[in-house]
Amino acid sequence: MPTLVEIAHEHSDIDEASLEHLGSLLSEWGMLADFCFADMLLHLLSANGEFIVGAQVRAATGQTLYDTDLVGTVADPIEHKMIDQAFQTQKVVTGETKVDSLVEPVNLMAIPVRFEERIVAVLTRKWSQRTGRKPGQLERTYLAIFDDFTKMISTGLFPFVGRVADASVAPRVGDGVIVLDAETRVRYASPNAVSAMHRVGVSANAVGQTLAELGVAETAARHAFERREPVVEEFEQSSDVTLLTRTIPTLRRSGRQVVVTGGVVLLRDVSELRRRDRLLLTKDATIREIHHRVKNNLQTISSLLRLQARRLKSQEAIEAIAESVRRIRTIALVHETLSHEAGEDISFIEIVRPLLRLVEEGLQSTDRPVKFSVIGDGGRLPATVATPLSVVILELLQNAVDHGFPEGSRGGSVLVVLGIHEDGALTIRVIDNGRGLKSDFEMANVTGLGLSIVRTLVTTELAGTIQMRAAKVSDSAKDLTIAKDGDGTVVELLIPAVRD
Ligand SMILES: Nc1ncnc2c1ncn2[C@@H]1O[C@H](COP(=O)(O)OP(=O)(O)O)[C@@H](O)[C@H]1O
Ligand SMILES: [Mg+2]
C-alpha cells in the first residue's frame, strides 16, 4: 500500500510543509475516527484536478462501511463535488452519497484541512444511520467533541505542531475519555474512564468537579490548557496502579486570539504493562547479578586450588592443578562478560581476547616466547555455546604452547581465526607454527585429557566437527603471519548455528 508521501509526490504538487502537517494529522486521526464512530479518508488534490485518497482510517468504535482499501483511488463525481466545495469554500460540507456495501444513501461530511493560510487537503467522514450506533449520552458527547476538532482542523488549529502521540501505548478513545470544560471541570466521563478512576481511588461522581478537586491529572490538564497543546502524563497512584493520560485541549479562534474551550483526557490503565516492564527490568538485573556471583565463586575455587597446589611436591600434580585453575578461570571469564550484558548472548570476541591474555600470562616461558593473536569475529553467541567453546579454545591454545613449542624450541606464534558462514555456522581455527603433529598422529587414538575434553564438548555438546592437520606454509603464509620455518598445526572447528 503506498504511503501518503508517495501518493502526494506522484499525483500532486503539495509542498513539504503542508505534507508534514498532514502527516501529523494522520498520527492523530485514529482518535478522530473513534470520536465520530466512522471511517475517514484524506483526499489530496491531484495535479489534474481530481481528488485522490491519500490515506484511510477505520474507527475502533464503529462499524466500517468500506470493505476495500481505497488509498490511491479517485473520488466519484458526487463525492468530488462535495469535497471540491469544502476545498473552495473552506467550510465543512455535508451531504449524501453511496457506498458499495449498502443500498440506502450514506452521509458524507467533507472537512477542509487548513495549514497556515490555505486549504491543503480534505478529510471526509462517511457514516450510515443504519449501521451507526444508537445515540446515547456517550455518542452525543463524542460527536460534540468531534465537532470541536472539525472546527479546529478547518481553522488550522489541529493537528498540533510537532506533537505526535506515541502510538504504542498512547491511550485511545476506547480506553476511557473524560471531557473537560475550560476550567477543567468534568462534563462527562465514559464508563471506562469511570472504572479507571475507581482504580485510583476516585469513586465519587466526577461530573461537575474539577480535576484538582478529584486529584486526577490536574497538572497535566493545566499545562495542556496553558500551552495549548496535548500533554501526556503517567501517574502512579500506588505501586499497583498506573494511569497513562493524554490531555488534549480543544481550541477556538476568536479574532486573532486562540482560546481554550475545554479539553479531553484520554486515559488508560497501564498497570499491567508497567508491572511487566518492572519485572523484566528486575529479571535482567537478577540474571546479571547471578553471573557476577558465579564468577566470584569460580574465582574462589581457583584460589583454593592454587593454595593446594603450593603444598604439592609432585611436578605432575602441580601442573594438573594449574591446568584446572586455567579451565575454571576461563569459565569465570564467560560469566564475567555475561554479568555486563543485558541478555544471555555475548559477543564471542569479547571472550577470546581476554582468554588469549590469560594464556599469554599463564603459559609463557621466557626462553621460548609465543605471540598470540586473533583475527575475525565470532558474532554473538548464547552463553550455552560460548562457555564450552571457551574451554575448547583454552585447551587448543594450551596444546599449541605445550606441543608446538616444547622445551628447547625457539617459540613462535599462535593465531586464532574466527569466522561465520552464511548459514550462521561458526568456524574457529587455532593455528601454530610450531613443531607440528607427529607423523602417526590420529585424532581417533588420542588419549590425552585436553583433546578428550575438546572432542566431547565439540562433538556431543555443540554438534560440531574437529579437524587437525599439518599447517603447510602455503596454507597460512599470506594473511596468517606464520613464520616460514615451522610447519605447525591447524585445528579447525566447525560449529553449526544454534537454533532455538
Ligand atoms: N598444536 C599441537 N602441535 C603438536 N602436537 C599436538 C598439538 N595439539 C595436540 N598435539 C598432540 O596431541 C596429543 C594429545 O593432546 P592432549 O589431548 O591435549 O593431551 P596432552 O596435552 O595432555 O598431551 C599431544 O600429546 C600431542 O602429541
Ligand atoms: Mg593438552
pLDDT of residue 477: 43
pLDDT of residue 409: 85
Give me the CATH topology for the region 359-500.
Heat Shock Protein 90 (3.30.565)
Percent of the chain with pLDDT over 70: 95
- Spatial distance between the Cα atoms of 336 and 386, rounded to a whole number of angstroms: 12
- pLDDT, mean of residues 98-123: 91
Q: 365 pLDDT exceeds 80? A: no
**CB-based burial, 271-282: b 16+ in 10 Å, e otherwise:** beebeeeeeeee
- Spatial distance between the Cα atoms of 204 and 215, rounded to a whole number of angstroms: 12
Which position has the grid cell 593465531? 415
Q: What is the pLDDT confidence band of residue 101, given thresholds at 50, 70 and 90? A: confident
Ligand nearest to the CA of 320: 1
Give me ligand 2 centre to Cα 325, in Å: 14
The conformational region for residue 379 under phi > 0 = left, psi -120 to 50 = alpha, else beta, is left
pLDDT of residue 99: 81
Q: Do the domains spanning 4-154 and 173-269 agree at the CATH topology level?
A: yes
Ligand 1: residue whose CA is nearest its atom 23: 448
Ligand nearest to the CA of 404: 1
Ligand 1: residue whose CA is nearest its atom 14: 448
Domains of the chain, residue spans = 4-154, 173-269, 271-343, 359-500
pLDDT of residue 163: 56
Ligand nearest to the CA of 442: 1
Counting ligand 1 atoms within 8 A of each CB, the residue from 316, 319, 393, 403 with the most, and so the one to mutate, is 403
pTM of the model: 0.59
- Spatial distance between the Cα atoms of 419 and 33, rounded to a whole number of angstroms: 53
pLDDT of residue 472: 65
For domain 173-269, give the CATH number. 3.30.450.20
pLDDT of residue 408: 85
pLDDT of residue 318: 94
- pLDDT, mean of residues 59-66: 84
pLDDT of residue 482: 45
Alpha helices in 96-162, H assignment, sequence order: 137-154
- pLDDT, mean of residues 151-176: 82
pLDDT of residue 166: 55
Give me ligand 1 centre to Cα 497, in Å: 28
Q: What's the mean pLDDT when you consider all of the chain?
A: 89
Give me ligand 1 centre to Cα 455, in Å: 13
Give me ligand 2 centre to Cα 323, in Å: 9
426: three-class secondary structure by DSSP: strand
Which residues form ligand 1's pocket by a CB distance below 6 Å?
Answer: 399-400, 402-404, 432, 434-438, 446, 448-451, 489
Ligand nearest to the CA of 491: 1
Which position has the grid cell 466545495? 85
pLDDT of residue 443: 83
Give me ligand 2 centre to Cα 398, in Å: 6
Counting ligand 1 atoms within 8 A of each CB, the residue from 401, 451, 457 with the most, and so the one to mutate, is 451
- pLDDT, mean of residues 11-25: 92
Ligand 1: residue whose CA is nearest its atom 9: 399
For domain 4-154, give the CATH number. 3.30.450.280
- pLDDT, mean of residues 130-155: 90
Give me ligand 1 centre to Cα 434, in Å: 12
